[in-house]
């Protein structure tokens, strides 16, 4: 999957004088990203959503940074937390280190993303008994609908620091703790489909590019992934609550059921110069797509059967959240399958 075209190679990012190492992906960018914009956090759209901070991403085609708004995302697994991605200086350039889901928070460059991500660790909430509890001191949560909350005052000494990268000229000087080093070896899940689609929507919006907004993007945060349609002169989207649909349940703005997903993309035929290998690869693609379409249909039928059951508005909301999580997990699984297949595609033969 080639969501970010500038990803060209895998390199190991080793911070100077530190034993911590982490895989980063990309090419070196000689100019660091802009400062992190100041914004308010939109209200949490529902129980089980976790906050993922906004960040500057790079578009090689346009040779410019673009802002990916912060947003609330359903955790892919109970007990998993989000470690934000970060830009770090190495070998004469900045490299992007991908964020990930895992049982503990890893190193994210010491960047102060706010809302519980103040440079190290996370103080915006915790998992307890299979439920996520929100710290109201740093999280914008409606306690009339979400009751698993607590209030612990947090001291943020980096409140004025908006630097968005580690190392280099003027960058954050931070190194991982032992706990963060240990987190690097745990099982991780890459960004879920809702996050990659959210980033793609931001990349497609010219107003999100640094050249156009001069470091002040028109949409800094959204209640749900991909909700970049409404413009705001201040940051309206960061303060207004999510809209509600029938029965009081939050109106979904991202794929909840497989039927909401776009058709599975069918790659263009390849021409490596080996006709037999190309034909075998094309058959493998067709077989995988057919299998994935059947899995979509099966999940859609299962969810439709559950939707026909009588339930209250609260029960309906929880079920929709469950269905959204199931759909995201299916998309993530299919994306990984496609990536695995693409890694085995026939390579072009050198011309004689």
**Tens-digit pLDDT profile for residues 199-245:** 999 999 999 999 999 999 999 999 999 887 544 333 433 333 333 33
Helices 313-342 & 193-203 angle (0-180, nearest 10): 80
Q: Judge whether 70 and 52 are in contact, CB under 8 Å.
A: yes
- Dihedrals phi, psi of 221, to nearest 5 degrees: -155, 150
Q: In which domain, by residue range, is 237 found? A: 10-242
Does one domain contain both 192 and 267?
no
pLDDT on residue 13: 35
**Do 109 and 166 contact (CB within 8 A), yes or no?**
yes
Q: Can you give the pLDDT at residue 262? A: 77
Half-sphere exposure of 275 (CA within 13 A, CB side): 0
Least confident of 36-40, 98-102, 159-163, 187-191: 159-163
* Axis-axis angle for helices 275-307, 313-342 (nearest 10): 170
Let me know whether 228 and 264 are in one domain. no
User: Is 272 in the same domain as 238?
Assistant: no
Could you say which of 207, 242, 277 is where a domain stops?
242
The pLDDT value recorded for residue 67 is 97
pLDDT tens-digit series, residues 193-209: 999 999 999 999 999 99
- Convert the pLDDT of each residue in 53-93 to its tens digit: 999 999 988 899 999 999 999 999 999 999 999 999 988 89
Cα separation of 146 and 59, whole Å?
38
pLDDT score for 155: 74
Tokens at 91, concatenated:
């070998």
Q: Report the distance separating Cα 148 and Cα 81, nearest Å.
A: 17
Domain assignment of residue 83, yes or no: yes
Residue at 22 is within a domain: yes
Is residue 251 in some structural domain? no
| 230, 293: one domain | no
Total domain count, the chain: 2
Residue 301 lies in a domain: yes
From residue 123, give the alpha-carbon distance in Å to each of 38, 117, 221, 238, 311. 19, 7, 19, 20, 35
Q: Which residues, 6+ apart, have CB-to-CB distance to 255 below 8 Å?
A: 193, 194, 261, 324, 327, 328, 331
């Amino acid at each position: 999957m080639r969501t970010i075209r500038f990803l060209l190679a895998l390199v190991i990012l080793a911070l100077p004088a530190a034993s911590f190492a982490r895989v980063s992906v990309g090419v070196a960018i000689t100019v660091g990203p802009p400062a992190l914009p100041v914004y308010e956090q939109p209200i949490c759209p529902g129980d089980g959503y976790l906050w993922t901070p906004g960040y500057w991403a790079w578009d090689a085609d346009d040779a410019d940074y673009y802002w990916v708004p912060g947003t609330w995302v359903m955790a892919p697994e109970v007990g998993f937390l989000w470690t934000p991605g970060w830009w770090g200086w190495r070998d004469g350039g900045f490299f992007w280190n991908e964020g990930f889901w895992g049982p503990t928070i890893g190193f994210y460059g010491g960047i102060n993303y706010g809302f519980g991500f103040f440079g190290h660790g996370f103080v915006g909430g915790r998992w307890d008994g299979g439920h996520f509890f929100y710290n109201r001191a740093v999280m914008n949560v409606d306690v009339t609908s979400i009751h698993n909350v607590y209030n612990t005052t947090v001291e943020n000494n980096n409140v004025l620091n908006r630097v968005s990268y580690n190392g280099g000229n003027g960058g954050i000087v931070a190194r991982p703790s032992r706990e963060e080093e240990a987190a690097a070896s745990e099982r991780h899940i890459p960004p879920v489909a809702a996050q990659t689609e959210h980033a793609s929507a931001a990349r497609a919006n010219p107003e999100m590019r640094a050249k156009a907004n001069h470091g002040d993007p028109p949409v800094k945060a959204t209640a749900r992934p991909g909700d970049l349609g409404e413009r705001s002169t201040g940051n309206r989207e960061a303060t207004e609550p999510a809209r509600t649909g029938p029965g009081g349940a939050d109106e979904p703005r991202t794929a909840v059921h497989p039927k909401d997903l776009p058709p599975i993309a069918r790659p263009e035929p390849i021409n490596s110069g080996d006709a037999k290998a190309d034909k075998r690869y094309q058959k493998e693609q067709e077989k995988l797509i057919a299998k994935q379409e059947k899995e979509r249909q099966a999940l859609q039928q299962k969810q439709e059967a559950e939707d026909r059951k009588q339930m209250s508005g609260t029960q309906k909301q929880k079920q929709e959240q469950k269905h959204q999580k199931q759909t995201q997990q299916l998309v993530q699984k299919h994306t990984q399958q496609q990536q695995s297949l693409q890694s085995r595609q026939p390579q072009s033969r050198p011309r004689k």
